[in-house]
Amino acid sequence: MLSFGLCIAALVTIFVSYWVHRWRNPRCNGVLPPGSMGLPLLGETLHLLIPGRSLDMHPFLKKRIQRYGTIFRTSLAGRPVVVSADAEFNHNIFLQEGRSVELWYLDTFSKLFNQDGESRTNGVGSVHRFVRSIVLNHFGPERLKEKMLSQIEEMVDKTLHNWSSQSAIEVKHAVSTMVFDFTAKYMFSYDPEKSSEKVGENMGVLLKGLMSFPLNIPGTEFHKCMKAQKKVMSLIKEKMKEKRSSPEAYQGDLLDQAIKEMETETFLTEDFVIPFIFGALFASFESISSALTLAFGLLSEHPLVVEELMAENNAILKSRGENVDSPFTWDEYRSMSFTPQVVNEILRLSNVAPGLLRRSLKEIHANGYTIPAGWTIMLATSAQQLDPNTFKDPLVFNPWRWKELDANVISKNYMPFGGGMRQCAGAEYSKAFMAAFLHVVVTKYRWTKIKGGDISRTPFLDFGKGMHIKVSAKA
């Protein structure tokens, strides 16, 4: 009996040893990038979840880039991953969209945005053209030029006036609500004053849930995240039902166009449109709100930047002559030089997400390494934007650096909105929104940071207990 038990123990030991060996040494028809696969199943996921306490790139990336170079392998959430901070490699991967690679999500992303199976391979051909076209129709340069930019200015002024009546506001929460409410209005005619659910006030839990284990159990971050997602999804679904049943509900928003095109495009179903609008809404509100929150912290510490911002934006007011209170125009926005540099620098440093995910459709050979088919590729654009070889003193807030940077260097290393055919169609909307916000805040208001402002990367940009400021109107 003892010998039988010893045989079983020996077999188990051999099996486990073989399993661990295979985990740490995946099959490959070439040379894998250097790195470690971590623990079986868990991989190095826990290392990614340990926060970094500064604006610097997340320690998970920084330590491995220092050890292995700009391309390395790891395992996250049970999946083999190649991480790249190599500008040329990443540029080429963007160009291979739909041929060698496809868009990909980890499990928490997939569940949050209802992306799985066929739907996550999506955005090629007619689907991608529809998504890009409809976003540009409602948030692109033409719509901004036509009326949206002045409406952003008006909304920002109203919001800041409201903030000035309060003893203090927590920036991330307040800005998130502002951006969500405005963007949702143009996406599906959301009106926070008429809605029983103040959805914008609860959207902050989404980002925390994205980097948690996908356990939908009460009390977990992922459960809170999914509850917030359900509220927004239900809100969009109700709006869709209302619009489809009553022509009077048509207001020319993005959802209206989607409903109209559902009559001719077979891929446009309710199950596609609702998650698409939710995803577009989340992407815009989170990137803008995080960047503007960081802006308050950075500008509070750099009075010379504020001084030059004021000079440029006050010059715009002066150029209006007697019409000083006329709306902020597209021509005024495009005439700016320093304000866009400030926006670029804020976006470079904010790096809301650590990178962009793709999946290899076939073996990829680059830099002497082989990436097997089916592996996830993380394009670590956040590391590129903090590379000292490209951006001197990368952690220094220096908007003036953008006067000297070469356009080719920028195109391959500065990608806050992605790259290639999947570059975010809402990029101009985000930049114009930030510029309009800065225009209003430096010409009409002043602020003082009261407390908070601690920054960490989780690996997403996080502001801990928040940044609290006091806003007051200029005399």
User: Does the annotation place 225 within a ligand binding site?
Assistant: no
Cβ–Cβ under 8 Å, residues 360 and 377: yes
As a whole number of angstroms, the distance between CA 349 and CA 428 comes to 18
Residue of 371, 347, 373, 354 whose CA lies nearest to 362: 373
Per-residue b/e over 312-336, b at no fewer than 16 CB within 10 Å? bbeebbeeeeeeeeeebebebbeeb
As a whole number of angstroms, the distance between CA 16 and CA 14 comes to 6
Cβ–Cβ under 8 Å, residues 75 and 22: no
CB-based contacts of 475, cutoff 8 Å, min separation 6: none
CB-based contacts of 424, cutoff 8 Å, min separation 6: 283, 417, 418, 430
What is the bridge-based pairing of β-strands 356-360 and 79-84?
A: unpaired
As a whole number of angstroms, the distance between CA 232 and CA 223 comes to 15
What is the bridge-based pairing of β-strands 456-457 and 445-452?
A: unpaired
Cβ–Cβ under 8 Å, residues 87 and 413: yes
As a whole number of angstroms, the distance between CA 204 and CA 179 comes to 12
CB-based contacts of 331, cutoff 8 Å, min separation 6: none
Dihedral angle over CA of 117, 120, 126, 129, nearest 10: 170
As a whole number of angstroms, the distance between CA 37 and CA 191 comes to 48
DSSP codes of every residue in 324-346: TTSPP-HHHHHH-SHHHHHHHHH
Which residues are annotated as part of the binding site? 424
Which residues are annotated as part of the binding site for heme? 424
